[in-house]
């Protein structure tokens, strides 16, 4: 009986020991689990300090307002709303006829200006030759005029001497005639001698008159020679202005060439305006807000469509100011986009220069005395780094919600 009780006690003790062992093991497992959970939580917290994320972010892009650069009438509309276009694709065609006429007029004006420039350029060597020849001729004419004056003055002096000689001869002949006349009356000399004295006196008078006429003619010749000298001097002075005339000729040639350049510029402008009749897409994108129709008269600068560019997208993320402590340009980022369900790679490009509230239309006014501290948000631009390969089908659109995760450590 006692042996039976001992066995039962031993079994009870074994059961109690086994129970205690299980309890101890359970406690150890719980303690290990709690420790492991604490380690995991601590690890997750530590890992979370390596990144900063926000769900207050949207995909951004360029919305290009496509407008006409010249007025005109719409001849063709080549796009529809929400149509995808490539860079250079035709959006609208304006009536080009007015601008084609302007191009033809500009070409005609250019041809006329070119002809004038060619003529002015040809005149330069001709003017150079004429200027040299005129100066040489004027110099020779001036020298000849001065030589003529000298010759006329010498001839005048000779004739004056001849007049003096003739005057002396005439005076002697008159004196002889006065002496012969009373002798003839007294028959001291013959009639023949007296007639010879009369003839000699007449001859002396004729010689004197001839000499006097020669002096008068020679005086007129000297005057003419001096007038010719003045004319030659004037021609020489005019010929000396040859360099100035050449400068004027060269200036006219340069002016004609400038007119050619002006006409060329007008032609370029006309051709440029003609090219503006074709309104094309400036980038790959989606056509939105189409507001142009065929036969519509449009003005310069009038918006026709909005082109949503899809090759240059980025994310504008509004991070809390407390998240910017370790954030800086160049840090890598992962961008989750709700619409596509994909994750894209990016890089921090810029951190905004002011908070969103400061950039809003009505900035916050905190000088009222009722200040409540509110965590501010700062816009951060994150650029996609491999958009061509990660979004080949252009699924991303400006305005889509996104969640960027920036690696700050």
Q: How far apart are CA 286 and CA 80, in angstroms?
A: 10
| Lowest mean pLDDT, pick from 14-18, 25-29, 61-65, 381-385 | 14-18
Provide CB contacts within 8 A for 332, sequence distance 6+. Answer: 345, 346, 347, 406, 407
Residue 172 counted as domain residue: yes
Residue 148 counted as domain residue: yes
- Buried (b) or exposed (e) across 265-302, using 16+ Cβ within 10 A? ebbeebbebbebbebbbebbbbbeebebeeeeebeeee
Tokens linked to 107 = 């070409």
Residue 212 counted as domain residue: yes
Q: How far apart are CA 287 and CA 303, in angstroms?
A: 13
Residue 254 counted as domain residue: yes
Q: How far apart are CA 358 and CA 364, in angstroms?
A: 7
* Termini Cα distance of the chain: 77
Q: How far apart are CA 38 and CA 32, in angstroms?
A: 10
Asked whether residue 271 carries a pLDDT value surpassing 70, the answer given is yes
Cross-sheet strand order for the sheet of 90-94: 278-280, 90-94, 72-77, 297-298
Residue 406 counted as domain residue: no
**Pairing mode, if any, of strands 343-351 and 377-384?**
antiparallel
Q: Which domain holds residue 211?
A: 102-262
**Pairing mode, if any, of strands 332-337 and 285-288?**
unpaired
* pLDDT for res 154: 76
pLDDT tens column, 314-348:
999 999 988 888 888 999 999 999 899 999 999 99
Tally Cβ neighbours within 10 Å of residue 378.
Answer: 21
Identify whether the C-beta of residue 379 lies closer than 8 Å to the C-beta of residue 317.
yes
Tokens linked to 309 = 């560019």
pLDDT tens column, 282-302:
998 999 999 999 999 999 999
- pTM surpassing 0.75? no
pLDDT tens column, 191-203:
777 777 777 777 7
Q: How far apart are CA 176 and CA 327, in angstroms?
A: 144
Q: Averaged over 253-274, what is the pLDDT? A: 91
The share of the chain scoring above pLDDT 70, in percent, equals 77
CATH of the domain at 241: 1.10.287.1490
| Lowest mean pLDDT, pick from 140-144, 258-262, 328-332, 335-339 | 140-144
Residue 206 counted as domain residue: yes
How many domains does the structure of the chain reveal? 1
Residue 357 counted as domain residue: no
Tally Cβ neighbours within 10 Å of residue 168.
Answer: 12
What confidence category does residue 361 fall into, taking pLDDT thresholds of 50, 70 and 90?
A: low
What confidence category does residue 265 fall into, taking pLDDT thresholds of 50, 70 and 90?
A: very high
Max alpha carbon distance in the chain (Å)?
A: 242
* pLDDT for res 245: 67
Residue 253 counted as domain residue: yes
What confidence category does residue 349 fall into, taking pLDDT thresholds of 50, 70 and 90?
A: very high
């Amino acid at each position: 009986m006692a042996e039976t009780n001992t066995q039962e006690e031993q079994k009870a003790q074994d059961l109690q020991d086994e129970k205690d062992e299980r309890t101890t093991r359970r406690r150890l497992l719980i303690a290990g689990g709690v420790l492991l959970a604490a380690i995991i939580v601590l690890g997750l917290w530590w890992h979370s300090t390596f990144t900063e994320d926000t769900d207050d972010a949207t995909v951004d892009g360029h919305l290009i307002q496509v407008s006409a650069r010249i007025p005109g009438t719409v001849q063709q509309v080549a796009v529809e709303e929400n149509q995808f276009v490539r860079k250079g694709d035709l959006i609208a065609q304006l009536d080009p006829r007015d601008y084609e006429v302007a191009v033809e007029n500009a070409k005609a004006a250019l041809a006329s200006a070119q002809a004038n420039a060619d003529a002015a350029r040809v005149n330069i060597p001709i003017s150079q030759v004429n200027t040299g020849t005129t100066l040489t001729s004027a110099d020779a004419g001036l020298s000849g005029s001065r030589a003529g004056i000298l010759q006329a003055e010498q001839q005048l002096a000779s004739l004056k001497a001849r007049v003096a000689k003739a005057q002396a001869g005439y005076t002697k002949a008159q004196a002889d005639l006065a002496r012969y006349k009373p002798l003839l009356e007294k028959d001291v000399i013959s009639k023949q001698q007296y007639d010879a004295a009369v003839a000699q006196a007449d001859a002396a008078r004729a010689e004197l008159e001839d000499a006097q006429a020669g002096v008068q003619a020679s005086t007129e010749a000297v005057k003419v020679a001096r007038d010719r000298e003045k004319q030659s001097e004037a021609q020489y002075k005019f010929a000396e202005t040859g360099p100035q005339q050449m400068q004027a000729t060269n200036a006219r040639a340069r002016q004609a060439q400038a007119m050619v350049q002006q006409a060329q510029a007008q032609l370029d402008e006309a051709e440029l305006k003609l090219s503006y009749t074709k309104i094309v897409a400036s980038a790959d994108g989606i056509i939105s807000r189409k507001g142009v129709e065929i036969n519509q008269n449009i003005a310069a600068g009038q918006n026709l469509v909005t082109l949503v560019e899809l090759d240059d997208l980025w994310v504008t993320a509004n991070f809390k100011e407390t998240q910017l402590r370790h954030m800086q340009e160049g840090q890598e980022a992962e961008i989750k986009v709700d619409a596509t369900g994909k994750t894209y790679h990016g890089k921090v490009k810029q951190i905004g220069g002011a908070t969103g509230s400061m950039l809003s239309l009505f900035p916050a006014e905190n000088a009222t005395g009722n200040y409540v501290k509110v965590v501010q948000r700062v816009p951060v631009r994150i650029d996609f780094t491999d958009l061509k390969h990660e979004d080949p089908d252009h699924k991303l659109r400006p305005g889509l919600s996104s969640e960027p995760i920036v690696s700050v450590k």
